[in-house]
């Protein structure tokens, strides 16, 4: 039996699983860890937490008894994108890693755009606009604000690639994750020497870059002793969590799109060609399929909006769910079902933490609009679910505008585990939505990439065709779709009409009393 292992280094924990050549999961384990917030808007993590969790989960999976460690042919790595791990000449961590949700780098983003020669010039070099979450502005921040630490830095790695280094002793990354650094020439799938030069950054700071299923290194003696993996096991490039999750969802051909309604919401489309958007409204990058690309829109508080409602306004439902030993979301969505489509004209803007796609507005605010004495809790909950889904549709519309075909939408995350929310998605997207047999996301995706890299399959699409299939579909309600199409136009106008007020609110809060 040939086994591959997938490791996903997430923000809240690491998940590791093993699969056989048919894609069957043989064992899995996870380990959680905290995130540090030294100041408002800052988000950091000690990379040693990831390594400890990787060791724990690998040993748990290897000792499950469903296969022998000697059966392991390959390992795939995935992880949170955009984070920055700073290493010295001896490979030691210089400071805690700055994470994807760290917001301290607004000035550095402006500096990058200016040095590049403007927004359109920057997008021409690296396919994306400068966002605070990306890696490049974090590098500039450390250089500017922590010069003594910066003097020690000799290598900058992404989170999953730090684990690769600990497992293999090799500095390496791959093109899908590197696309989120803002330093990759995405069109040509190599580091952008043009932008590195304009930012006065030494290319030697960055590791060698591979394709996702390409073998990048092998398990070292030190890595073997720490984890139980045999020496010499191949480690493929892997993928950032979103591109790897796309492989795990079978999004490896143009026309198939995923809509993941998690805490954040991600609309992810595979594309044969990179395309061009001078405004950079969608994140574009290399796909985990060699030679191809992806476009991605991100809603910062999609399922997170319903989570906020549960935590802050749903304490009664949480208490009742505890008594009944059920998920509180079952009670909340049952309430929402009592209100019909459109919640009698009540809208919710899900911008509880600002917004990324398509507005790129940290000042955007959330809230209900259209409240009347007719509305009660069922309307409010339903409006939250609809508002998050309208925000996801924003990205779908941008993908269509870029000329990327949308023939099938596969849904995942919390929004795919609830019948009402699946129906709302089908009706607002205007397309049947489908769920698949695989639900393990990035860890499963990189295990599939390892199957390709070790020769079990000839290509990534072939591996997905053999292991992933749709199992359930939710059809569009034509009447509800017609209503939502009209309501979506109102929803889009609400942000445009209020964005000036959002900025004034932020200024008001900043000034204080």
pLDDT, mean of each 10-residue run, the chain (513 residues): 94 94 96 89 94 98 96 97 97 96 91 97 95 95 98 98 98 98 98 98 98 98 98 98 93 92 89 82 93 92 92 92 91 95 97 87 92 96 98 94 88 87 97 89 96 97 94 96 98 97 90 77
Residues 381 and 235 in one domain: no
What b/e string do you get for 178-213 counting C-beta neighbours within 10 Å, with b at 16 or more? bbbbbbbbbbebebbeebbebbebeeebbbebbbbb
Q: What is the DSSP string of 51-91?
A: HHHHHHHHHHHHTSSSS-GGGEEEEEEEE-SS-EEEE-TTS
Catalytic residue among 185, 241, 363, 394: 241
Residues 226 and 372 in one domain: no
Q: Is 161 a catalytic residue?
A: no
Residues 128 and 207 in one domain: yes
282 in a structural domain: no
284 in a structural domain: no
Counted domains in the chain: 2
Spatial neighbors of 438 by CB under 8 A, at least 6 apart, are: 23, 248, 249, 250, 444, 467, 468
CA distances from 131 to 6, 113, 182, 354, 356 (A): 29, 10, 9, 13, 9
CA distances from 202 to 158, 185, 191 (A): 17, 16, 11
Residues 315 and 242 in one domain: no
| Predicted pLDDT of residue 513 | 67
332 in a structural domain: yes
Residues 376 and 231 in one domain: no
pLDDT for 399-423, tens place per residue? Answer: 988 888 899 999 988 888 899 999 9
| Predicted pLDDT of residue 279 | 80
325 in a structural domain: yes
Which CATH number fits the domain that encloses residue 421?
3.30.420.40
**Which residue range forms the structural domain that includes residue 377?**
303-436+477-507
| Predicted pLDDT of residue 226 | 98
Residues 135 and 234 in one domain: yes
449 in a structural domain: no
Chosen domain end from 230, 250, 270: 250
In the numeric block, the tokens 């809060």 are attached to 509
Residues 310 and 392 in one domain: yes
Residues 171 and 310 in one domain: no
Helix ranges (H only) for 228-263 are 241-248
Residues 180 and 81 in one domain: yes
Indicate the burial class of 61 (C-beta count within 10 angstroms; 0-12, 13-18, 19 or more).
buried
Spatial neighbors of 45 by CB under 8 A, at least 6 apart, are: 11, 33, 35, 36, 83, 96, 97, 99
162 in a structural domain: yes
| Predicted pLDDT of residue 403 | 81
Residues 243 and 311 in one domain: no
Contact 243, 433 (CB under 8 A): no
pLDDT for 147-190, tens place per residue? Answer: 999 999 999 999 999 999 999 999 999 999 999 999 999 999 99
Residues 36 and 115 in one domain: yes
Cα 319 to chain center, whole Å?
A: 31
Residues 307 and 227 in one domain: no
470 in a structural domain: no
112 in a structural domain: yes
């Amino acid at each position: 039996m040939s086994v591959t292992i997938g490791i996903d280094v997430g923000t809240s924990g690491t998940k590791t699983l093993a699969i056989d050549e048919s894609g069957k999961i043989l064992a899995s384990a996870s380990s959680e860890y905290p995130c540090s917030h030294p100041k408002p808007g800052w988000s950091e993590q000690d990379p040693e937490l990831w390594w400890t969790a990787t060791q724990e989960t690998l040993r748990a999976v290897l000792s499950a008894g469903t296969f022998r460690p000697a059966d392991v042919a390959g390992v795939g790595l995935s992880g949170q994108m955009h984070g920055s791990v700073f290493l010295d000449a001896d490979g030691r961590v210089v400071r805690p890693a700055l994470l994807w949700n760290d917001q301290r780098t607004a000035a550095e983003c402006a500096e990058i755009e200016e040095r590049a020669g403007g927004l359109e010039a920057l997008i021409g070099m690296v396919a994306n606009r400068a966002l605070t979450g990306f890696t490049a502005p974090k590098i500039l921040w450390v250089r500017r604000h922590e010069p003594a630490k910066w003097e020690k830095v000799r290598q900058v790695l992404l989170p999953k690639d730090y684990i690769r280094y600990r497992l293999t002793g090799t500095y390496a990354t791959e093109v899908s994750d590197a696309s989120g650094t803002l330093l990759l020439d995405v069109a040509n799938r190599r580091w952008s020497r043009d932008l590195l030069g304009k930012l006065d950054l030494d290319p030697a700071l960055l590791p060698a870059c591979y394709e996702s299923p390409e073998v990048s290194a092998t398990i070292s003696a030190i890595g073997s002793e720490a984890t139980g993996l045999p020496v010499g096991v191949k480690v493929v490039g892997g993928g950032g969590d979103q591109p790897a999750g796309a492989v795990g969802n079978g999004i490896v051909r143009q026309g198939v799109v995923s809509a993941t309604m998690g805490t954040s919401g991600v609309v992810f489309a595979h594309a044969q060609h990179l395309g061009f958007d001078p405004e950079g409204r969608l994140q574009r990058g290399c796909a985990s399929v060699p030679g191809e690309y992806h476009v991605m829109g991100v809603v910062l508080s999609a399922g997170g909006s319903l989570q906020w409602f549960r935590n802050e306004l749903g304490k009664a439902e949480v208490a009742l769910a505890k008594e009944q030993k059920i998920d509180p979301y079952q009670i909340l969505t049952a309430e929402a079902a009592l209100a019909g489509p459109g919640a009698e004209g009540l809208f919710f803007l899900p911008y509880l933490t600002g917004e990324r796609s398509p507005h790129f507005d940290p000042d955007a605010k959330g809230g209900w609009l259209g409240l009347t004495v007719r509305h009660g809790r069922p309307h409010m909950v339903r409006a939250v679910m609809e508002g998050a889904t309208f925000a996801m549709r924003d990205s779908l519309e941008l993908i269509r505008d870029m000329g990327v075909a949308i023939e099938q939408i596969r849904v995942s995350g919390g929004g795919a585990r609830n019948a009402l929310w699946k129906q709302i998605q089908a009706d607002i997207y205007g397309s049947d939505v489908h769920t698949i047999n695989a639900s393990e996301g990035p860890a499963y995706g990189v295990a599939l990439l390892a199957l390709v890299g070790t020769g079990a399959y000839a290509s990534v699409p072939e591996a997905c065709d053999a292991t992933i299939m749709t199992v359930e579909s939710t059809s569009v309600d034509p009447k509800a779709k017609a209503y939502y199409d009209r309501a979506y136009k109102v929803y889009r106008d609400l942000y445009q009409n209020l964005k000036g007020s959002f900025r004034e609110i932020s200024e008001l809060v900043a000034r204080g009393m």
